[in-house]
Amino acid sequence: MEFDKEVDARGLNCPLPILRAKKMLAEMATGQVVRVLATDPGSVKDFQAFARQTGNELLRQGETVDNAFEFYLKRK
């Protein structure tokens, strides 16, 4: 999947992956996509809740790449 920006949050625990993604999304234009890599197992549920609460679209989630969970968020 194509993306515009990337956040590498591997090795960081909750809530840092969400906070890093939130900061990146704030700098992006509507419709742009950010790819987030995170190793925290709780990040799967965290990103689901984050998308619901913020209105940003979770395009894909939870697939593992290089021993990390991969998330694609589209800025609202």
Catalytic residue among 12, 14, 16, 28: 14
SS3 at position 44: helix
Dihedrals φ, ψ of 37, to 5°? -110, 130
Tokens of 45: 């549920």
Beta-strand pair 33-38/68-74? antiparallel
Q: Quick check: is 14 catalytic? A: yes
Residues labelled catalytic: 14
